[in-house]
């Protein structure tokens, strides 16, 4: 019988994370202080993050040991299984061999606990009592709520209002794990109040929710802020996944020609792809594709520039692909992909030609999710459907070219709490959101006066 799943025993759980900063072809430019425009030092970040995570953020060390207490929690769901998508291959009549790594088996349903658990642990060790954060679709908020429960920390989540209303069960998951979750923009912070004064009907955005969570951390007692994506240490923690993938591909006797993940802030994609990107930097031929929504085309249309990570300009300026910090994406159902920026590491690797960005429209992503569910069974998160849409395109291309490609999909999460989005699709209520150039120009005006990175590139608009 064909082997469907490739399991790793717990003894094969990676004991270290992989840090791509040690192998970047071009050195990263530093984050800048939001007030002075000078490179930020550890002391500038100390009100926001604990020092042990700040050290990890800038560490040049290639491999970093995973503490025993984190490994113990990881074993609840890790190592995660890798599957061969035989049914999807057959349906597409493709000679491609498609593998998918199932990160949806974590208790919270996605890859997000890989870093949530690590961040909660390092905060606990540093003496933090309360963690604040933002969440889009609710996957990150629920992952951090669970992690805080494991380490006895309070957790406060600002959830983008559109998702708060679309996904009540995510909020209830957070409450079940003991967190407090409010809709953002909220009246609880100055940042939220200022947005509501301008637009009382604001659907919210990840940028706004980050502003609220950062403000709550710097003004709260024993509080720190935690980010679910974008930062170097988040990408680092996620590599536990890609390191497992490397072992599982070796067991399958294959090596990926194409690696595909969706990218909101870049963390699930980076987690799967970075260990392989290291191979590519050292000469391997791999097509590594990061997929984003056409309605939030950060990588495919945004410039590489310095920008704030949040809307109210509280975070350091980061060198990244961005649509401008005031950009509020259309209310698509992939809430976790509605972010104006992108991880600086992912952005830099795009400039260096290691990663290839692509954008797909919403309707194609849901069609892909339905095809995947009807062939492989699993119902994917709307974010994950973006990656699946690209897998289908690549598998069809392989058929047309008659090539036996090996495609690795990072299946970042399940969509069992996202059925309202599927209902909207199945009832014909969803549409594609064309993004007019003027809207991008308007948002990019806000970053005109900010310092420019040495490698500044204008966007494709």
Nearest to 147, CA basis, from 170, 126, 174: 174
- Taking the complex as a whole, how short is the minimal distance between the CB of residue 219 and ligand PLP, in angstroms? 26
| Phi, psi torsion values for 396, nearest 5 degrees | -70, -40
Up-side HSE of residue 381: CA atoms within 13 Å toward CB?
A: 33
Contact predicate 49/40, CB 8 Å: no
Judged by beta carbon, residue 342 or residue 447, the one nearer ligand PLP is 342
Judged by beta carbon, residue 235 or residue 450, the one nearer ligand PLP is 235
Judged by beta carbon, residue 44 or residue 292, the one nearer ligand PLP is 292
- Taking the complex as a whole, how short is the minimal distance between the CB of residue 37 and ligand PLP, in angstroms? 27
- Taking the complex as a whole, how short is the minimal distance between the CB of residue 128 and ligand PLP, in angstroms? 22
Residues that bind ligand PLP (CB under 6 A): 110, 136-137, 139-140, 229, 262-269, 336-337, 381, 383-384, 412-413
Judged by beta carbon, residue 103 or residue 257, the one nearer ligand PLP is 103
- Taking the complex as a whole, how short is the minimal distance between the CB of residue 422 and ligand PLP, in angstroms? 14
Measured between alpha carbons, how far is 283 from 273 in angstroms, rounded to an integer? 15
- Taking the complex as a whole, how short is the minimal distance between the CB of residue 340 and ligand PLP, in angstroms? 13
Measured between alpha carbons, how far is 456 from 272 in angstroms, rounded to an integer? 27
Measured between alpha carbons, how far is 269 from 386 in angstroms, rounded to an integer? 12
DSSP 8-state assignment for residue 33: -
Measured between alpha carbons, how far is 183 from 192 in angstroms, rounded to an integer? 10
Show the CA angle centred on residue 265, arms to residues 139 and 167, nearest 5°: 25
Judged by beta carbon, residue 89 or residue 418, the one nearer ligand PLP is 418
- Taking the complex as a whole, how short is the minimal distance between the CB of residue 331 and ligand PLP, in angstroms? 15
Judged by beta carbon, residue 50 or residue 264, the one nearer ligand PLP is 264
Judged by beta carbon, residue 324 or residue 336, the one nearer ligand PLP is 336
Judged by beta carbon, residue 224 or residue 386, the one nearer ligand PLP is 386
- Taking the complex as a whole, how short is the minimal distance between the CB of residue 76 and ligand PLP, in angstroms? 18
Nearest to 434, CA basis, from 301, 340, 303, 311: 301
- Taking the complex as a whole, how short is the minimal distance between the CB of residue 140 and ligand PLP, in angstroms? 5
What SS3 class is residue 83? strand
Which alpha helices (DSSP H) does 107-231 contain, by range?
113-126, 139-151, 161-166, 168-176, 190-198, 206-219
- Taking the complex as a whole, how short is the minimal distance between the CB of residue 238 and ligand PLP, in angstroms? 8
Judged by beta carbon, residue 126 or residue 416, the one nearer ligand PLP is 416
Judged by beta carbon, residue 186 or residue 267, the one nearer ligand PLP is 267
Residues β-bridged to residue 293: 360
* Token code pair at residue 78: 């890790």
Judged by beta carbon, residue 318 or residue 337, the one nearer ligand PLP is 337
Measured between alpha carbons, how far is 33 from 46 in angstroms, rounded to an integer? 13
Residues 6+ apart with CB under 8 A from 207: 308, 309, 310, 311, 325, 326, 327, 328, 339, 340
Nearest to 335, CA basis, from 302, 267, 382, 270: 382
- Taking the complex as a whole, how short is the minimal distance between the CB of residue 3 and ligand PLP, in angstroms? 26
Measured between alpha carbons, how far is 427 from 257 in angstroms, rounded to an integer? 37
- Taking the complex as a whole, how short is the minimal distance between the CB of residue 363 and ligand PLP, in angstroms? 19
Residue of closest CB approach to ligand PLP: 336
DSSP string, 181-196: EEEES-SSSHHHHHHH
Contact predicate 56/64, CB 8 Å: yes
- Taking the complex as a whole, how short is the minimal distance between the CB of residue 271 and ligand PLP, in angstroms? 8
Show the CA angle centred on residue 139, arms to residues 238 and 130, nearest 5°: 85
Judged by beta carbon, residue 186 or residue 268, the one nearer ligand PLP is 268
CA dihedral 357, 362, 368, 369 (to 10 degrees): 110
């Amino acid at each position: 019988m064909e082997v469907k799943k490739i399991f790793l025993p717990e003894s094969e759980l990676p004991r270290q994370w992989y840090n791509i900063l040690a192998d970047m072809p071009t050195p990263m430019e530093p984050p800048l202080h939001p007030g002075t425009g000078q490179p930020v030092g550890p002391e500038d970040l100390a009100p926001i993050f604990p020092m042990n995570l700040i050290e990890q953020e800038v560490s040049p060390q290639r491999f970093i040991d995973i503490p025993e207490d984190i490994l113990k929690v990881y074993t609840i769901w890790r190592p995660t299984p890798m599957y061969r998508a035989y049914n999807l291959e057959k349906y597409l009549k493709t000679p491609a061999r498609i593998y998918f790594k199932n990160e949806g088996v974590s208790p919270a349903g996605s890859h997000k606990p890989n870093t949530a658990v690590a961040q909660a642990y390092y905060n606990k060790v540093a003496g933090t009592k309360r963690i604040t954060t933002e969440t889009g679709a609710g996957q990150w908020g629920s992952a951090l709520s669970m992690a805080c429960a494991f380490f006895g920390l309070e957790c406060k989540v600002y959830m983008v209002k559109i998702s708060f209303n679309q996904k009540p069960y995510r909020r209830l998951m957070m409450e079940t794990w003991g967190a407090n979750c409010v809709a953002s923009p909220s009246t609880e912070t100055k940042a939220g109040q200022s947005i509501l004064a301008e637009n009382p009907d604001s659907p919210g955005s990840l940028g706004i929710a980050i502003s609220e969570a950062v403000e709550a951390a710097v003004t709260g007692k024993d509080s720190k802020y935690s980010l679910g994506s974008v930062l170097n240490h988040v990408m680092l923690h996620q590599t536990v996944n890609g390191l497992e993938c490397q072992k599982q591909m070796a067991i399958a006797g294959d090596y990926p020609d194409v690696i595909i993940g969706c990218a909101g802030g870049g963390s699930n994609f980076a987690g799967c792809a970075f260990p392989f990107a290291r191979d590519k930097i050292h000469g391997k031929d791999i097509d590594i594709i990061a997929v984003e929504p056409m309605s939030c085309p950060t990588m495919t249309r945004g410039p590489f520039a310095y920008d704030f990570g949040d809307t109210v300009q509280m975070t350091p300026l980061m060198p990244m692909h961005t649509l401008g910090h005031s950009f509020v994406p259309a209310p698509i159902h992939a809430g976790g992909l509605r972010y104006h920026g992108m991880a600086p590491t992912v952005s830099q690797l795009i400039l260096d030609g290691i990663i290839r960005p692509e954008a797909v429209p919403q309707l194609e992503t849901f069609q892909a999710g339905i095809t995947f569910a009807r062939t492989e069974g699993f119902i994917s998160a709307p974010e994950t459907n973006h990656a699946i849409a690209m897998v289908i395109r690549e598998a069809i291309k392989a058929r047309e070219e008659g090539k036996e490609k090996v495609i690795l999909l990072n299946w970042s999460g399940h969509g069992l709490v996202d059925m309202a989005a599927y209902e909207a699709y199945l009832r014909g209520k969803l549409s594609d959101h064309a993004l007019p150039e003027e809207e991008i120009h308007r948002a990019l005006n806000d970053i005109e006066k900010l310092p420019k990175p040495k490698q500044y590139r204008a966007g494709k608009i």
